Chain A
Amino acid sequence: MSLTVEQVKARNQELIKEVLEVYPEKTAKRRAKHLNVYEEGKTDCNVKSNIKSIPGVMTIRGCAYAGSKGVVWGPIKDMIHISHGPVGCGQYSWAARRNYYIGTTGIDTFVTMQFTSDFQEKDIVFGGDKKLEKIMDEIQDLFPLNKGITVQSECPIGLIGDDIEAVSKKKSKEYGGKTIVPVRCEGFRGVSQSLGHHIANDAVRDWVFDKSDDKHPEFVGSPYDVAIIGDYNIGGDAWASRILLEEMGLRVIAQWSGDGSIAELENTPKAKLNVLHCYRSMNYISRHMEEKYGIPWVEYNFFGPSKIEASLREIASHFDDKIKEGAEKVIAKYKPMMQAVIDKYKPRLEGKTVMLFVGGLRPRHVIGAYEDLGMVVVGTGYEFGHNDDYQRTTHYVKDGTLIYDDVTGYEFEKFVEKVQPDLVGSGIKEKYVFQKMGVPFRQMHSWDYSGPYHGYDGFAIFARDMDMAINNPIWGLTKTPWAA
């Protein structure tokens, strides 16, 4: 028996009240501002966001280092990214994000490696700058084909007063102007991964764009040059996107940053349009390029055929008729395949409900893909979203959707227990909690080791995976048949 919208709203309001009861008064007051029920017609979700997580509540968030090394810089494949500080941060994030790339790892490509300064007590006491210099020398010696180095600061760096900028400048000069980028992404900065994205974006601006004259004068531009910004090529997402842009007649001159290279970053200011997928993590550099180089940028969404179609047209609208026709051809070409996917999976998924809690763009961007399959997203929230994300979310969510910002372990578990969605989409830390509860789950950060999910090719995989999660026969067996 399905509830009316008004009943859903009442239940969700009640639910919010209920979860807040567990907290001490001060905490309840603070958390109340992050939880809400979306009212149709409003231009915002009316939740507070991008503020400090509360101690001891089990936030799902990470840190600025995760945002810089883990998200923005880590995938740049021909540079070496030093996790500067103690061993752990680099170890736990080592190759965990599935940023696919083509290259010979350890020789000209370094993404799935863990370079660390492995700080010891003496480095804390006496400072790590000398060690960092030596590390750069050793990198030059042992990995001669690296095309640049970044220094990804871990917590202690900013606390002990190391001057990684001075070291980077000195060494860059010594190696004939090599790109060396110090990044101040210490984990205690800001409130989540988000500030790490911003700091990493600024580091590209200051240490890549502003440091070099045109490094590739031989590069010949075209009127159809675009750069993909904010696609980390998880499971090959950027590839499944790039192929569509190229098919419609555009030339993708750079990928930021999945399967990206330093040359691509350097040449991006030559693009005619920046196409931005993950707004949250790369709007900063897009705005900068707009201001400084006059490159317009456009947000797009390549999850599910409805959004892909609209996005292809939107991107094409920035170009001439040739590209507009190209977009139509691409849409027409893939339509039968998309219809076949929907015909196969929609009957198996129609009406199924989903609760999401993810980062970046996904809490809103994937909603369309679920809807293409007849599914309904009944709750969503951002790990590290800002107000502008929640505003954008209003274009996607339905009346009465439960909204939870920086959800705590406790809240999420209670929400799911009461709402009983058919599927939860969140991260590795949440996956097994919900599966124990008998709720089908897909990791929506790593695509649960599947993917790509972007583009037309990706949608077929997305549909298959959601079906296999929800219609997995094991969920019928969680209860003992002999129990009363």
Chain B
Amino acid sequence: MTQSTNNVLDHFNLFREPEYIDMFETKKKNFEFPHPADKVEEVRDWTKTWEYREKNFGREALTVNPAKACQPLGAVFVAVGFEGTMPFVHGSQGCVAYYRSHLSRHFKEPSSCVSSSMTEDAAVFGGLNNMIDGLANTYSMYKPKMIAVSTTCMAEVIGDDLNGFITNARNKGSVPEDFPVPYAHTPAFVGSHITGYDNALRGILSNFWEGKERTANGKINFIGGFDGYTVGNLREVKRMFDMMGVEYTILADNSEVFDTPADGEFRMYDGGTTLEDTAAALNAKATVSMQQYCTEKTLAYAAEKGQEVAAFNHPVGVAATDKFLMEVSRITGRAIPAELAKERGRLVDAIADSSAHIHGKKFAIYGDPDLCLGLAGFLMELGAEPVHVLSTNGGKEWEARMQELFESSPFGKGCHAYAGKDLWHMRSLLFTEPVDFLIGNTYGKYLERDTGTPLIRIGFPVFDRHHKHRYPVWGYQGGMNTLVTILDKIFDEMDRNTNIPAKSDYSFDIIR
């Protein structure tokens, strides 16, 4: 009898009660036919060794705990960044349930998206009818201003022709003649969610730009890329641009739709780049991308149209933000105002105040390729060492870029980049070459549990901490937030390691 209404025990404590512990033991002993405990321990210890690491890195076929998702997730992320736009994923419906859940679990927000619900008959005959009916239904029910189509791997494997299908659907009256239905092929077996971001954005832009005459103006287009901090980051970028007097269009601006108020009304659509601005973005002087690997095709397309393009790698910190702002200033001819210089000075000041606690600390980082570059650069600026940097969706070229970055600083000495590896590889790295802290998304908590390396949650998805996406990591302000996030963990660890009375608590200092 464990429950009492004064203190209801849920899973956190209920199962630590003796009757449950007994039950677990009996179940295991009598019915699970488990391996002997010493055997389990032996194998556990073996997985910590260099020998295991070599075997683990010898994997050629199996992926275990990857840090990447598939293309359509990125396409959905882009689509909701346009005014009144419903993402429409052509293929199996279960995929859409997954994207929506995934985004909702990170942002703690609704995530609207429809599927063409293809089943076995569509696998045989193709999904044309699903497209025709699907577009008609979505158009009538959800009253979008645009429907952005992407594909699941099912539709890609059977080779559905999106362009033909959409034209066909239009001819059948599913949507009005002039209603925008941009599309992108987003096969899950090529690249990752960042590839899907790129393909979808290029698809939407080409829908508005193709066949149009470009008349260059002084505005710039800005693209954030696939970004778990999109809400905080895009707002911060707008603030900085406004301070500089830059004329700009944020493309795929999903900062509103992933941050709507609870005021009695559900906003299926909110904010977003207007379709008018999207079309007019062709005339921009330049397009600036915050994440190179999310926008390779999109930037090439903008360049093809005659725009200047500039790409960054998820800049975090002082020097990276300097470079970003100076480039924007150069392109637009707008000076960086004194107020931003002051913010910069505050960040430098904060780093100087705290650097003693970060200097020389060793870090492991994993995440999307741009995020890894941005964070590694910031850590080296703080005097820390990004010892292991791993990106499941990074390629050889990214690995070389990381290496260059390491070589640019004495704090990059002995640091290594791992392209195409997963978190089970990271586990071996952390056991054989331990570091002080790990930076990654929520899944990193399994590494923290197994290896004891404290996890600093920066990345996507973050399911088990709330509201971090509201705080920017870009700009000097974002650098400040990132610094504080890292410092908080460092200080918490210091306290945790010094809190045993009469043993270690001489260092349990109140002033640090």
Contact = CB atoms under 8 A, between A and B. Distances in A.
A438 B263 CA distance: 7
A334 B15 CA distance: 17
B1 interface: yes
A115 B62 contact: yes
Contacts of A59: 93, 115, 117
Contacts of B187: 86, 121
Given A187-B94, A236-B14, A55 B137 contact: yes
B108 A432 contact: yes
A461 B8 contact: yes
Nearest to A94: B443
B78 to A, nearest CB: 16
Interface string A419-446: 0000000011101111111100000000
Interface in B96-112: 97-102, 104-105, 108-112
Residue of B40, B101, B187, B188 contacting most chain A CB atoms (<10 Å): B188
B91 interface: yes
Interface in A37-79: 52-66, 78
Interface in A227-262: 235-236, 239-240, 242-243, 246, 252-255, 259, 261
A58 B154 CA distance: 18
B395 interface: no
A89 interface: yes
Nearest to B40: A108
Contacts of B3: 337, 341, 456-457, 460
A434 B264 CA distance: 9
B119 A191 contact: yes
Contact of B65 (A114, A124, A191): A114
Chain A interface size, under 10 / 10 to 19 / 20 to 34 / 35 or more? 35 or more
A187 B115 CA distance: 13
Nearest to B116: A55
A330 to B, nearest CB: 11
Interface stretch (A22-30, A362-370, A397-405): A22-30
A139 B63 CA distance: 10
Given A56-B138, A337-B1, A86 B33 contact: no
Interface stretch (A96-104, A200-208, A284-292, A319-327): A96-104
Contacts of A95: 443
Contact of B114 (A56, A435, A457): A56
Interface string B80-104: 0000000010011111011111101
B9 interface: yes
B112 A58 contact: yes
B189 A124 contact: yes
Given A23-B141, A142-B55, A155-B92, A93 B98 contact: yes
B178 interface: no
B266 A57 contact: no
B275 interface: no
B97 A429 contact: yes
Contacts of A191: 119
B14 to A, nearest CB: 6
Interface string B172-210: 000000000000000111101000000000000000000
Contacts of A259: 27
B157 interface: yes
A117 B15 contact: no
Contact of B28 (A102, A120, A142, A242): A102
A88 B65 CA distance: 12
Residue of A22, A100, A142 contacting most chain B CB atoms (<10 Å): A142
B43 interface: yes
Interface string B27-59: 110111111000110011001000010011001
A3 B72 CA distance: 46
B88 to A, nearest CB: 7
Contacts of A236: 11, 14-15
B450 A106 contact: yes
Interface in B209-229: none
Contacts of B481: none
Contacts of A464: 8, 10
B117 A107 contact: no
B341 interface: no
B101 A437 contact: no
Interface in B417-456: 424, 427, 443, 446, 450
B265 A436 contact: yes
A15 interface: no
Given A188-B92, A236-B11, A435 B264 contact: no
A216 interface: yes
Nearest to B64: A115
Contacts of A138: 59-62
Contact of B70 (A57, A88, A160, A216): A88
Contacts of B111: 429
Interface stretch (A167-175, A273-281, A387-395, A408-416): A408-416
B110 A87 contact: no
B491 interface: no
Interface in A183-204: 187-191, 193
Given A23-B140, A114-B65, A436 B262 contact: yes
Given A23-B141, A115-B64, A187 B260 contact: no
Contacts of A253: 30-31
B55 A85 contact: no
B99 to A, nearest CB: 7
Contacts of A340: 4-5
Given A57-B141, A107-B40, A188-B118, A113 B93 contact: no
A175 to B, nearest CB: 15
Nearest to B56: A142
Interface string A115-141: 111111101100000011011001101
A63 B27 contact: no
B19 interface: yes
Given A66-B94, A102-B24, A53 B8 contact: no
B63 A118 contact: yes
Contacts of B61: 117, 131-132, 134-135, 138
B507 interface: no
Residue of A87, A112, A193, A253 contacting most chain B CB atoms (<10 Å): A87
A156 interface: yes
Contact of A88 (B8, B47, B69, B136): B69
Contacts of A64: 94
Interface stretch (B127-135, B368-376, B497-505): B127-135
B157 A96 contact: no
A314 interface: no
B380 interface: no
Interface in B112-171: 112-120, 122-123, 130-131, 133-138, 140-142, 152-154, 157-158
Contacts of B1: 333-334, 337
B14 A457 contact: yes
Contact of B104 (A115, A144, A428): A428
Contacts of B401: none
Contact of A436 (B39, B65, B130, B266): B266
A195 to B, nearest CB: 10
Residue of A66, A91, A263 contacting most chain B CB atoms (<10 Å): A91
Given A116-B63, A253-B31, A334-B1, 16 more contacts: A27-B137, A54-B137, A56-B117, A65-B94, A88-B153, A108-B35, A134-B61, A134-B62, A139-B62, A155-B92, A159-B123, A190-B119, A409-B142, A429-B100, A457-B3, A457-B14
11 contacts: A55-B118, A62-B93, A114-B66, A119-B153, A156-B154, A235-B11, A240-B14, A433-B266, A450-B11, A451-B11, A480-B263
Interface of B: 1-5, 8-11, 14-15, 19-20, 23-24, 27-28, 30-35, 39-40, 43-44, 47, 52, 55-56, 59-66, 68-70, 72-73, 88, 91-95, 97-102, 104-105, 108-120, 122-123, 130-131, 133-138, 140-142, 152-154, 157-158, 187-190, 192, 260-267, 424, 427, 443, 446, 450
Q: 6 tightest CB-CB pairs across the interface, nearest first? A: A63-B94, A88-B70, A55-B134, A56-B134, A92-B98, A86-B188
